[in-house]
Amino acid sequence: MNLSHPMTKSAPPAAGQMVSYFDTLALVERLHRLLLDLVKDEFERLGVLEINPVQALLLFNMGEQELTAGELKTRGFYQGSNVSYNLKKLVDLGYLHHERSTADRRAVRIRLTEKGRRVRETLLRLFAGHADGMVARGVLPREGMDDLTLMLRRVERYWTEQIRYIY
């Protein structure tokens, strides 16, 4: 048993399952950091240095939708003040267009500008290359990607249910 885990040798019989779960948690964290590094490297390579990877992914995840900051938060992509800061910066830099809602003057609707769409297109190409590369190099078979996504959605659903149950 790996001693870097919170489990010890005196753990109950389900320890193998726990070690595997801890490995999964650590891997999810590392994969998120690696994704941010991949995005950062791509934008550095292209000379786009005014936005950070989190902001680039925010633009990517928005797509062609017109949203409010609250809608971005409720979709689970971003945390409270972090979203407000990043949205303001992206508006100031010309990646997002914003306007007050006619129905609710407190709400601000945001959508990508042409500059924001170019960032999204860059990430679409990057991610398409990654997907093709994983299949070509045998990292994941094409159907394996679907299976992986299904399993991760199940974990997401389970964790979401746990949050709702606790509160």
Name the residue range of residue 137's domain. 26-162
Say yes or no to pLDDT of 12 above 70: no
The predicted structure's pLDDT at residue 7? 52
Q: Is 3 a domain residue?
A: no
3-state secondary structure of 110: strand
- Give the domain CATH number at 149: 1.10.10.10
Distance CA 50, CA 44 (A): 10
Distances (CA, A) of 54 to 34, 41, 83, 93, 155: 12, 13, 10, 15, 23
- Does residue 19 lie within any of the structural domains? no
Tokens 């924001």, residue located? 116
In a domain, 15, yes or no: no
Q: Is the residue at 2 inside a domain?
A: no
Q: Which tens digit of pLDDT belongs to each residue from 111-120?
A: 999 999 999 9
pLDDT tens-place string over residues 98-153: 988 777 767 788 999 999 999 999 999 999 999 999 999 999 888 888 999 999 99
In a domain, 108, yes or no: yes
Q: From CA 149, how far away is CA 147, in angstroms rounded?
A: 5
| Domain annotation covers residue 47 | yes
pTM over 0.75, yes/no = yes
* Structural domains in the chain (count): 1
Residue 21 belongs to some domain of the structure:
no
Is residue 11 a part of any domain in this protein? no
